[in-house]
Amino acid sequence: MRGSAQAGLRGLGELLVSAGVVVLLFLAYQLVWTNLAAHRAADRAAATLRESWARPGTSSGSNPTALRTRPGTGFAFLHIPRLGRRFDVPVIEGVGLPELSRGVGHYPDTALPGAIGNFAVAGHRATNGEPFAYLDQVHQGDLVVAETKAGWYTYVVDRTRIVTPTSTWVLDPVPGKPAATPSSALLTLTTCNPRWASYERLIVFGHLTGTRARADGPPASLGAGAGA
């Protein structure tokens, strides 16, 4: 009797230790592995995009409407100097998990960089590359530069908001005015809030202040060496 009770306890102990090891492995997966995998994937997406730009083809000048996007494919880079001098993350068409684990995702049916309307982008804030981990440190007046094959589109941040997860109005061509016809180029960035709970969304709004053709080089706000 004592023997079987002892065996049962040992079996329980074995189970609990095994469960503990699995939990620790899951932590390692979330906090280290997903970021390593996402950074590798983003590097690959960035290299593919830069190679496609380097190939000779028809130049579209700085006309933003000439840009074509394909679901799941990178078409731009986002630079946010406030998040680091070297912060440049590929923008992938689509906001599903496969897209968001390779960079940041462009909401389909929202405007393209530099175009009239709302250029809306989502990014992870915790795990899986977490490009927007410190988006809460971006404030009014900070710059967000979208780089495409055509050129550089500099947006300035107007305001940040915390909203509910269903607040799709932030994606409107004129946020909050679904019926309005847009007359200017706007920017919306979305990520989760609070960082490790995500029952809200952190939104950054901005508007276009400057456009440069690719041939003119990166804007001064990015410093030397950008776009390489």
Annotated active-site positions, please? 124, 192, 201
Please pick, from the candidates 81, 105, 114, 129, the single residue that binds another protein as defined by CB under 8 A.
Answer: 105
Query: Least separation, in Å, of the C-beta of 48 and another protein?
Result: 23
Q: Which helix (H) or strand (E) element contains residue 186?
A: strand 185-193
Determine contact, residues 118/173, Cβ cutoff 8 Å.
yes
User: Does the footprint of another protein cover residue 212 (CB under 8 A)?
Assistant: no
Determine contact, residues 92/85, Cβ cutoff 8 Å.
no
> How many residues lie near another protein (CB under 8 A)?
41
Query: Least separation, in Å, of the C-beta of 50 and another protein?
Result: 25
Identify the bridge partners of residue 205 per DSSP, sorted by sequence position.
159, 188
Which residues within the stretch 191-210 sit at the binding site for another protein (CB under 8 A)?
Answer: 191-192, 196-199, 201, 203
User: Does the footprint of another protein cover residue 224 (CB under 8 A)?
Assistant: no
Query: Least separation, in Å, of the C-beta of 212 and another protein?
Result: 29
Largest CA distance in the chain: 85
Dihedral of alpha carbons 54, 55, 59, 62, sign: negative
DSSP state string for 154-184: EEEEEEEEEE-TT-GGGGSSSTT-TTPPP-S
Residue numbers at the binding site for another protein (CB under 8 A): 7, 10-11, 14, 18, 22, 25-26, 29-30, 33-34, 95, 97, 100, 105, 107, 122-128, 132, 163, 165-168, 170-171, 190-192, 196-199, 201, 203
